[in-house]
Amino acid sequence: MKELWTGAGLGALLALAAAGCRADAAPQVPPSLRGVRTIVTLGDSITQGGGQPGGYVWLMEKWLRALYPDQGIQIVNAGISGHRSTDMEARFARDVLERRPDLVTISVGVNDVWHAFRDFRAGVDHPRGDLPNGVPLEVYRQKVEAMVRAARQAGIRVVLLSPTLIHEDLLRPENARVRIYAAAMRRIAADNGALFVDLYRAFAEPVAAYRRHAGPGMNLLTTDGVHLNAAGNHLMAFVILRSLGVPEPDLRRVSAEAGPRQAAAPNRLPHAPRDTRPGGA
């Protein structure tokens, strides 16, 4: 046994001890989250409902606090049902800049597209997508870029979240337009030093696989084709944090530790007091 304490034997023991210490240590904070104490999540009803237990905003905060307890991360939910890029840009100073967060996530685009295809007051779909309540692509670009630039000028890190599905039928014209808006958002992020998270793709891939094997009889990630169920909220939180650099094994561990009690109720919420339009996400 004496040789274990000399030369290579001693080095091996030290390496094993160091590995054990690393396994017990708290995970390192990824660069994109270093120094982040306050996060504002700006969005529509998907974000507003995401603050409920099991919602994506709730899950993000829960997982971040579990992984990085010394950082004291808190999330301020600034989602309002029915809001489009025009609405969010109008309240950006009040709901984001005045709160002085370290990071903001901006989830925008579902209502910009959906309101062009559906008259919520009459309950009628318009397949041509030419209703005036939608936000034209160029206006969408202008509003999203204005929010990104305002945040960057204030020293706030920006994460742009692409719009998710409108109905779990990828061939519908609404989703064809969502893909165009998501591509525009990707370009804005690249041009302005923001992080882009392609949630449309993250949702479309499992939905396409599910429908290929099981048919269109049931929604996989949403309650109504738009608003997220428990699986959709889990997926959204997971993809956002993974895009922010949180290692996937760490995410799998904290999400598994929480267990099935995280299952969320449908996040279709009544309108917040400041929203006066009927319908939408």
Flag whether 154 is in a domain.
Answer: yes
**pLDDT score for 53:** 97
Question: Could you tell me the CA-to-CA distances from 194 to 41, 138, 159, 161, 232 in Å, in that order?
Answer: 15, 19, 6, 10, 24
Flag whether 124 is in a domain.
Answer: yes
pTM of the full structure: 0.86
Q: How confident is the model at residue 134 (pLDDT cuts 50, 70, 90)?
A: very high
**pLDDT score for 33:** 98
- The CATH number covering residue 104 comes to 3.40.50.1110
The pLDDT tens digits of the residues spanning 59-72 come to 999 999 999 999 99
The pLDDT tens digits of the residues spanning 85-131 come to 999 999 999 999 999 999 999 999 999 999 999 999 999 999 999 99
Decide if pLDDT at 25 tops 70. no
Flag whether 242 is in a domain.
Answer: yes
> At residue 260, what is the residue type?
P
Give the span between the Cα atoms of 149 and 154, in whole angstroms.
9
Flag whether 192 is in a domain.
Answer: yes
Q: By residue range, what is the domain housing residue 196?
A: 30-262
Flag whether 6 is in a domain.
Answer: no
Give the span between the Cα atoms of 158 and 102, in whole angstroms.
9
Q: How many CB atoms lie within 10 A of CB 126?
A: 14
Count helices and strands in the chain by DSSP H and E runs: 11, 7
For the chain, what is the domain count? 1
Flag whether 12 is in a domain.
Answer: no
> At residue 123, what is the residue type?
G
Q: How confident is the model at residue 11 (pLDDT cuts 50, 70, 90)?
A: low
CA 162 vs. chain centroid, Å, equals 8
CA dihedral 210, 212, 214, 219 (to 10 degrees): 50
The answer to whether the CB of 60 falls within 8 A of the CB of 73 is no
Flag whether 215 is in a domain.
Answer: yes
Flag whether 267 is in a domain.
Answer: no
Decide if pLDDT at 148 tops 60. yes
Question: Could you tell me the CA-to-CA distances from 33 to 13, 36, 72, 104, 280 in Å, in that order?
Answer: 34, 5, 12, 11, 32
Which residue, among 246, 258, 281, has the nearest Cα to 159 in the 3D structure?
Answer: 246
